């Protein structure tokens, strides 16, 4: 199709349009016609060819776009990207930024195209291109339910997140602070730190969801950052069954359990609920840790639970722990009545190994006074 380059502009355009109108022309032939049209910077002919549904503008790994960029055919590049903004990802960083700036400068580019261009620029972490797009008043960075900020947070592009939340049109607290929650789930520490500095962001939003999801995902540093907020500390104390320490114990996140115990954000009831979860899921180190912080534990109940969940090592640990407590109490300065009251509450006197007659399993049990 290189013959087209030998024609004058008017004749070339007539030939191209005649070939488009001729339904007998093979799609491959029309496809091959685009490259020579790019070489002679024949944007009108390229536009006409791209309007034909027999043409695939992305064929051969977007060769058309690559050639147009290489030859600095900006008007053709703009035509190619107009309806396919995501194709910018096929360009190298330098060329992509040049193209973005050319599109911003071109008043013929539709606002919708510019709007759609910002997402691929975020995916490529082109912070300077995003900055240039945000400076254009045709762009609404909060479009489609804050998709732009969500994408930047999801991909952990800290600089872009900073630029977005500094834009008055972007509110990071929309949708009940989903942006903060998503950053906490994904463990993006720098972004969580940025968001927590923004007065619009509520760290206890959606029933204290940020610390709950950070705990569930095992992000200790983020839990620590959230606990530094007074409102989070109060909320952690007030919540019922779905507490952070119970979740941490269930998931086996011992560092978070330690952190919550250190900052006294786990009351007696929550510690016992956490102990039950740690026993059920076999987290021995967490069981030890919680036993050291729990008081008045119904040891008989927890030993029965350990046996029920087939955790013989933990059952033995619980018996030994109670034995130690009883001996310490008997050797203490408590009065005889106080000691008796204690023994009545925790009436174990020794350890016994019982064998299940049906299964043959051996279980560690406490012997209770009758």
The three-state secondary structure class of 363 is: strand
114 assigned to some structural domain:
no
Closest CA to 258 of 283, 295, 231, 279: 283
> Alpha-carbon distance 205 to 318, whole Å?
38
Residue 158 is encoded by which pair of tokens?
């800290």
Residue at 168 is within a domain: no
| Cα–Cα distance list, 17 to 12, 13, 20, 46, 51 (Å) | 9, 6, 5, 10, 11
State the pLDDT at residue 362.
57
Q: Is there a contact between 216 and 242 (Cβ–Cβ < 8 Å)?
A: no
Quote the number of domains for the chain. Answer: 1
pLDDT tens for the chain, residues 1 to 370: 566 777 777 887 788 788 888 878 888 888 888 888 888 888 888 888 888 888 888 888 888 888 888 888 888 888 888 878 888 888 888 888 888 888 888 877 888 888 889 999 999 898 888 998 999 888 899 888 889 999 999 999 999 999 999 999 999 999 899 999 999 999 999 999 999 999 999 999 988 899 999 999 999 999 999 999 988 865 555 544 458 899 999 999 999 999 988 876 566 667 888 999 999 999 999 999 998 886 567 788 898 899 999 999 999 999 888 777 777 766 778 776 776 676 666 545 444 556 666 777 655 454 544 3
Nearest residue to 211 (alpha-carbon basis) of 190, 185, 191: 185
pLDDT for position 128: 87
As a whole number of angstroms, the distance between CA 33 and CA 289 comes to: 74
Alpha-carbon gap, residue 87 to 43, rounded angstroms:
19
Q: Residue 70: inside a domain, yes or no?
A: no
Q: Determine, yes or no, domain membership for 368.
A: yes
Q: Are 298 and 271 in contact (CB under 8 A)?
A: no
Q: Which DSSP letter does residue 104 get?
A: H
Q: Is residue 342 part of a domain?
A: yes
Q: Is residue 110 part of a domain?
A: no
DSSP code per residue over 19-65: HHH-TTS-HHHHHHHHHHHHHTT-HHHHHHHHTSTT--TTHHHHHHH
| Pairing, β 362-368 against β 348-355 | antiparallel
Residue 353 belongs to a domain? yes
Which structural domain, as residue segments, surrounds residue 346? 296-370
Q: Is 17 a domain residue? A: no
Q: What tokens were used for 104?
A: 């911003």
């Amino acid at each position: 199709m290189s013959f087209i380059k030998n024609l004058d502009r008017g004749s070339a355009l007539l030939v191209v349009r005649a070939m488009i109108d001729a339904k007998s022309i093979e799609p491959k032939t029309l496809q091959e016609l685009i490259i020579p049209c790019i070489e002679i910077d024949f944007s009108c002919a390229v536009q006409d060819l791209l309007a034909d549904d027999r043409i695939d503008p992305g064929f051969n790994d977007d060769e058309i776009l690559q050639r147009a960029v290489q030859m600095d055919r900006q008007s053709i590049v703009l035509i190619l990207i107009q309806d396919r903004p995501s194709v910018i990802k096929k360009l190298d960083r330098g060329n992509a930024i040049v193209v973005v700036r050319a599109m911003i400068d071109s008043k013929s580019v539709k606002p919708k195209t510019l709007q759609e261009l910002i997402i691929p620029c975020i995916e490529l972490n082109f912070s300077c291109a995003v900055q240039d797009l945000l400076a254009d008043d045709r762009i609404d960075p909060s479009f489609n339910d804050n998709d732009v900020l969500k994408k930047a947070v999801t991909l952990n592009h800290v600089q872009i997140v900073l630029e977005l939340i500094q834009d008055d049109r972007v509110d990071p607290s929309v949708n009940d602070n989903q942006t903060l929650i998503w950053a906490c789930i994904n463990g993006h520490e720098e972004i969580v730190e940025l968001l927590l500095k923004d007065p619009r962001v509520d760290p206890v939003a959606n029933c204290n969801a940020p610390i709950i999801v950070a705990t569930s995902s095992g992000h200790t540093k983020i839990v620590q950052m959230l606990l530094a907020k007074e409102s989070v500390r109060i909320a952690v104390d007030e919540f019922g069954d779905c507490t952070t320490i119970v979740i941490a114990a269930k998931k086996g996140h011992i560092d978070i359990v330690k952190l919550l115990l250190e900052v006294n954000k786990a009351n007696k009831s929550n510690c016992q609920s956490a102990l039950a979860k740690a026993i059920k899921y076999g987290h021995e180190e967490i069981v030890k840790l919680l036993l050291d912080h729990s008081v008045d534990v119904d040891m008989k109940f927890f030993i029965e639970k350990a046996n029920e969940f087939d955790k013989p090592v933990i059952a033995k640990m619980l018996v030994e722990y109670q034995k130690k407590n009883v001996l310490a109490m008997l050797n203490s300065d408590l009065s005889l009545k106080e000691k008796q009251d204690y023994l009545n509450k925790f009436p174990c006197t020794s350890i016994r190994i019982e064998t299940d007659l049906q299964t043959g399993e051996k279980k560690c049990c406490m012997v209770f006074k009758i």
